[in-house]
Amino acid sequence: MRQLKNYILLLAFWAMFQNARAQQTVQFSQYMFNGLVVNPAYAGYKEDWTLNLASRLQWAGIDGAPRTHTVSIDGVLDPDKKNAAIGFLATNDRLGPENNLAFYGNYAYRLRLDDEDTKRLSLGFGAGLVQYRLDASAFNPNDPTDGTIAGNENMLRSDFRVGVYYTTPSFYAGGSVLNLFSEVLSGSNTLAINPVPHMYLTTGAVIPLSNDIDIKPSMMLKTDLKSPAGLDLTAYLLFAKKLWLGASYNTGVNLRRSDQYKGLDKSNTVTGMAQFNISPYMRFGYSYDFSTSALATYQSGTHEVSLSLSFRRKQPRVISPRFF
């Protein structure tokens, strides 16, 4: 079946791409505007209840290319003490006929570190369910003698994640482990990639350049401690606290002294990004990824859009700006 062969080829390339980048979890270029995707301790950072939506079309122009969608909401439970926060995250990851759907509940306890409440250390935990599904109806034999896949393949897994997140008005640093424990609860899907623990280290800052211009550098290192790590280096310019314009460079880094991955295509990407604060409680973003790998000649880039909405509490509060 040609469609099955094409899917297996795409899945194999996806697996190699993921291994080369140490990236098996969902991927977003604009992760720094919704840290809950990579760290459960991010829950409640903006304090007001905040809804985040994001959609990513990777490798546009390739049939069956990855499509990822996510929606999350988080906020503090007590608006006065602001110590406890919860967040809910749902993701949908599609690759050809394969569809992965995940739901997570996250809890964070936020420690107040100074009297002015400008520094917080948050400890977070997340638990979720991930459903892997392979749609058999997407395969149609071109040759009558070819067989067909009978029935859909399904698998349900549990998944857990932990994290820590430190913030000030102008700086943040975090660490998390996703896919900490994963266990098959039901079903079987032989084409699903077995999840392995992934570690994320993130940091960033906002530095004033003038009264109207700030610069925001950030970094994310993601690794499974076995294959080469993925390194994201990003810099934004913020104009009049309204418009963000930035760029990101993503590459692979071999943290282990081994020749195993010597000469492996690092699948480097360069990303252009723009964010606009429509109001203090609404943000819209767009990014476009340019791949420098051999795949660049077969696709027309990666598009990603995001939207953030914060719901203002009835009692106005004076809080420091939330740049992250």
Residue 67, pLDDT above cutoff 80:
yes
Quickly count helices (H) and strands (E) in the chain: 1, 16
- Is 18 within the bounds of a domain? no
Q: Are 59 and 320 in contact (CB under 8 A)?
A: no
Indicate whether 320 belongs to any domain. no
For residues 65 and 295, the model is more confident at 65
Q: Which residue has the higher pLDDT, 292 or 172?
A: 172
Q: Is 10 inside a domain boundary?
A: no
Cβ-Cβ contacts under 8 Å for 116 (sequence gap 6 or more): none
Domain that holds residue 97: 27-256+265-311
Cβ neighbours of 300 (radius 10 Å): 13
Query: Residue 62: inside a domain, yes or no?
Result: yes
Question: pLDDT tens digit string along 172-181?
Answer: 999 999 999 8
Placement of tokens 């122009």 in the chain = 61
Least confidently predicted of 83-87, 160-164, 179-183, 241-245: 179-183
Using the predicted structure, report yes or no on whether residue 73 has a pLDDT greater than 60: yes
CATH number assigned to the domain comprising residue 196: 2.40.160.40
98 falls in which pLDDT band (50, 70, 90)? confident
Structure confidence at residue 253 (pLDDT): 81
Determine how β-strand 302-311 pairs with β-strand 213-223. unpaired
pLDDT mean over 246-263: 72
State the total domains in the chain: 1
Q: What is the pLDDT of residues 107-154, one digit of tens each?
A: 999 999 999 899 999 999 999 999 988 776 666 555 555 555 556 778
N-terminal to C-terminal alpha carbon distance within the chain = 47
In a domain, 11, yes or no: no
Give 5's pLDDT tier (boundaries 50, 70, 90): very low
Q: Establish if 17 belongs to a structural domain.
A: no
149, two tokens: 């896949």
Is residue 13 within 8 Å of residue 5, measured between CB atoms? no
Instruction: Determine the average pLDDT of the residues in 80-95.
Output: 93
Is 55 part of any domain? yes
Residue type, 70: T
Coil, strand or helix at 82 = coil
- Structural domain includes residue 291: yes
